[in-house]
Structure 1
Amino acid sequence: MKKLTTLAAGMLLAQLAMANVSAPAAAPAATATPQTPAQWLDRMTDFTRNASAYRDPKVFVPWSNAVTEPGFYTQMGINMMDPGNWYRMMGTMLDPRSLNNYMQFTDPNMYMKWMAASMDPNFYTALMTTMLDPGKMMRWMMMPMDPQMWNMMMQSLNPNMYLKWMMAPLDPRLWSLMMAPMNPNLYTSWLGQSMNPATYGSWGTWMNPASYAVPGMVPTTGTAPAGVVNPFDLSALFNMYAQPAAAPAAGQAAAPATGTFNFFDPNAWTNMFNPAAWTAPAAPAAAAAQPAPAK
Structure 2
Amino acid sequence: MKPNSHQNSLTCLRALMAAAVFCLWPALPASAQSDGADDTGHKFELAKQYYGDCQDADDERFEQIRPYLKAFTDMEVMADTLADPARLARLMSVVNDPRTIHVMTKCATEPVMWETWMNGMTDFNKMTRVMMRFMNPNMYMSWMMAPMNPAMYQPMMQFMDPAYYTRWMTAMMNPVFYQPVTSLADPGWYTPRINWLMNPQSMQPMFNMMNYGMPVPGAARAPVEPAEDAAPAESE
Q: TM-score, normalised by structure 1?
A: 0.44
The answer on 1:85 being equivalent to 2:113 is: yes
After superposition, the Cα gap between the structure-2 partners of 1:99 and 1:65, relative to the gap in structure 1 and judged at 3 Å, is: same
Alignment match of 1:94 (pick from 98, 103, 122): 122
User: 1:31-180 to 2 correspondence within 5 Å?
Assistant: 35-36=64-65, 40-96=68-124, 97-120=126-149, 122-146=150-174, 148-156=176-184, 160-171=188-199, 173-180=201-208
- The residue that corresponds to 1:232 in the other structure is none
After superposition, the Cα gap between the structure-2 partners of 1:186 and 1:138, relative to the gap in structure 1 and judged at 3 Å, is: farther
For the pair shown, the structure with the greater C-alpha radius of gyration is 1
Give, as a single letter, the amino acid of the residue that structure 1 aligns with 2:191: L
- The residue that corresponds to 2:12 in the other structure is none
- The residue that corresponds to 2:220 in the other structure is none
- The residue that corresponds to 1:216 in the other structure is none
Residue 142 of structure 1 aligns to a residue whose secondary structure is helix
After superposition, the Cα gap between the structure-2 partners of 1:179 and 1:124, relative to the gap in structure 1 and judged at 3 Å, is: closer
Give, as a single letter, the amino acid of the residue that structure 1 aligns with 2:143: W
Percent identity between the aligned chains?
A: 26
1:87 to partner: Cα distance:
2.7
Give, as a single letter, the amino acid of the residue that structure 2 aligns with 1:64: M
User: 1:2-41 to 2 correspondence within 5 Å?
Assistant: 26=34, 29-30=37-38, 35-36=64-65, 40-41=68-69
User: 1:216-235 to 2 correspondence within 5 Å?
Assistant: none
Q: TM-score, normalised by structure 2?
A: 0.54
Q: Distance in 2 between matches of 1:51 and 1:181?
A: 21
Give, as a single letter, the amino acid of the residue that structure 1 aligns with 2:136: D
User: 1:136-285 to 2 correspondence within 5 Å?
Assistant: 136-146=164-174, 148-156=176-184, 160-171=188-199, 173-181=201-209, 183-184=211-212
Q: Distance in 2 between matches of 1:162 and 1:39?
A: 30
1:57 to partner: Cα distance:
2.7
| Structure number with higher relative contact order (C-alpha < 8 Å, ≥ 6 residues apart) | 2
Equivalent pair of 1:28/1:48 in contact (CA under 8 Å): no
After superposition, the Cα gap between the structure-2 partners of 1:181 and 1:73, relative to the gap in structure 1 and judged at 3 Å, is: same
The RMSD of aligned alpha carbons is 3.3
Q: Distance in 1 between matches of 2:212 and 2:140?
A: 36
5+ unaligned residues in a row in structure 1: which ranges? 1-24, 188-295
Q: Distance in 1 between matches of 2:172 and 2:201?
A: 35
Give, as a single letter, the amino acid of the residue that structure 2 aligns with 1:29: A
After superposition, the Cα gap between the structure-2 partners of 1:184 and 1:30, relative to the gap in structure 1 and judged at 3 Å, is: closer
Give, as a single letter, the amino acid of the residue that structure 1 aligns with 2:205: L
After superposition, the Cα gap between the structure-2 partners of 1:64 and 1:179, relative to the gap in structure 1 and judged at 3 Å, is: same
Residue 81 of structure 1 aligns to a residue whose secondary structure is coil
1:49 to partner: Cα distance:
2.4
After superposition, the Cα gap between the structure-2 partners of 1:93 and 1:100, relative to the gap in structure 1 and judged at 3 Å, is: same
Equivalent pair of 2:80/2:133 in contact (CA under 8 Å): no
After superposition, the Cα gap between the structure-2 partners of 1:167 and 1:133, relative to the gap in structure 1 and judged at 3 Å, is: same
Equivalent pair of 2:86/2:152 in contact (CA under 8 Å): no
Q: How many residues align?
A: 159
1:35 to partner: Cα distance:
3.1
User: 1:283-294 to 2 correspondence within 5 Å?
Assistant: none
After superposition, the Cα gap between the structure-2 partners of 1:27 and 1:114, relative to the gap in structure 1 and judged at 3 Å, is: farther
Higher mean alpha-carbon deviation, 95-104 vs 165-174, is at 165-174
1:160 to partner: Cα distance:
4.6
